[in-house]
Structure 1
Amino acid sequence: MSEREVLELLRENARYSAEDIARMTDLEESEVEAAIEELEAAGVIRGYRAVVDWDALEEETVRAEVELNVELDRETGYDDIAQRLVRFPEVTALRLVSGDYDFDMEIEGDSIREVSQFISEKVAPVPEITQTVTHYVMTSYKEQGIELGDGEEDDRLSFSP
């Protein structure tokens, strides 16, 4: 049995039942259930979440991508900084990245003011953080591999002779 097959199907739709996955993989339902339990116990599967199209709601949700540059010293490493930042509930994702900055952080809040205050009062004062650059998300077209929107878009490329 391929654990990867089970993982890919759960990633495609976390609401698939063990029975559904067994049917799609030609495995026994009990094998699928055991595999999922093992993957959860090992920490490979960390949780199940809905992909939300925030633009489809009436209420405002503000999301931002924040670039962080840091300066390390002998006592502080990337993991130390990351452990401080991931504890904030406003932080929905944090990644160490290569390129022009060190961390890519995703933040959610109820307003631009709330997100701005969080960055200026909680993130920027961290001694090792030397620079923040905030990009507010205006529209999302795809999240976690799922296209968003009303699905009415014409996906054909225009053609002119």
Structure 2
Amino acid sequence: MEAGAKKQILDILQEDCRRSPEQIALMLGLEAEAVKAAIAEMEDERLILKYPALINPEKLGDDTVTAMIDVKVVPQRDLGFDQVAERIYRYPEVRSVFLMSGGYDLSVVIEGRTMKEVALFVAQKLAVLEHVQSTATHFVLKRYKKDGVIYDEEIEDNRLQVSP
């Protein structure tokens, strides 16, 4: 399958990963078996890594604390930031790690049950790592939008009114 068709399949799956290969095939004018094969190939190549559901933790009553931590690192000879980043992303509390440009080197997103738990993670596990120069922790107070989805947006009913 051509790269353009694969990109279209990926776009559809990113918007709603519940779409079946048959639905995607219908949307793109392709054969369902070709779509199934393309998806399987992209999964094997690790182009598709996971099919996550985006959950609104406030509606769930989840009080999990999310923090974004700016980390300054001394890069290692011949390894750069990779080895330090790997040590950090191996912790189960860590949700994401990004190499950044600008005033700090790594951006680490973690989750914990309380602010104290997050603070202890930073103080006892992250800040003490060899090659970590400094950290700055930012706690998420409210989520407005993530992955293109607005959290508190009311769903509009755009159907036409029908009266008897």
Q: How many Å apart are 1:75 and its aligned residue?
A: 5.8
Partner in structure 1 of residue 25 of structure 2: 22
Structure of higher RCO (CA pairs closer than 8 Å, 6+ residues apart) = 1
Q: Which amino acid aligns with 2:129?
A: V
TM-score norm. by structure 1 comes to 0.90
Matched, 1:31 2:34: yes
User: Secondary structure of 1:84's match?
Assistant: helix
Equivalent-residue separation in structure 1 for 2:99 and 2:155 (angstroms): 36
Q: 1:101 aligns with which of 64, 88, 104?
A: 104
Equivalent-residue separation in structure 2 for 1:152 and 1:13 (angstroms): 16
Partner in structure 2 of residue 148 of structure 1: 151
Partner in structure 2 of residue 87 of structure 1: 90
Partner in structure 2 of residue 157 of structure 1: none
Q: How many Å apart are 1:151 and its aligned residue?
A: 1.8
Partner in structure 2 of residue 158 of structure 1: none
- Which one is further off, 42-51 or 65-74? 65-74
Q: Where do residues 1-161 of structure 1 align in structure 2 (5 Å cutoff)?
A: 1=2, 2-74=5-77, 76-151=79-154
Unaligned runs of 5+ in 1: 154-161
Q: How many Å apart are 1:72 and its aligned residue?
A: 2.2
| Count of residue pairs brought into register by the alignment | 153
Equivalent-residue separation in structure 1 for 2:122 and 2:88 (angstroms): 11
TM-score norm. by structure 2 comes to 0.88
**4+ residue runs over 3 A deviation:** none
CA displacement 1:25-77 (0-9 Å, x = unmatched): 11111011000000000010011111111122223110011100011242652
User: Alpha carbon RMSD of aligned pairs, Å?
Assistant: 1.5
The percent of aligned pairs where both chains have the same amino acid is: 36
Partner in structure 1 of residue 161 of structure 2: none
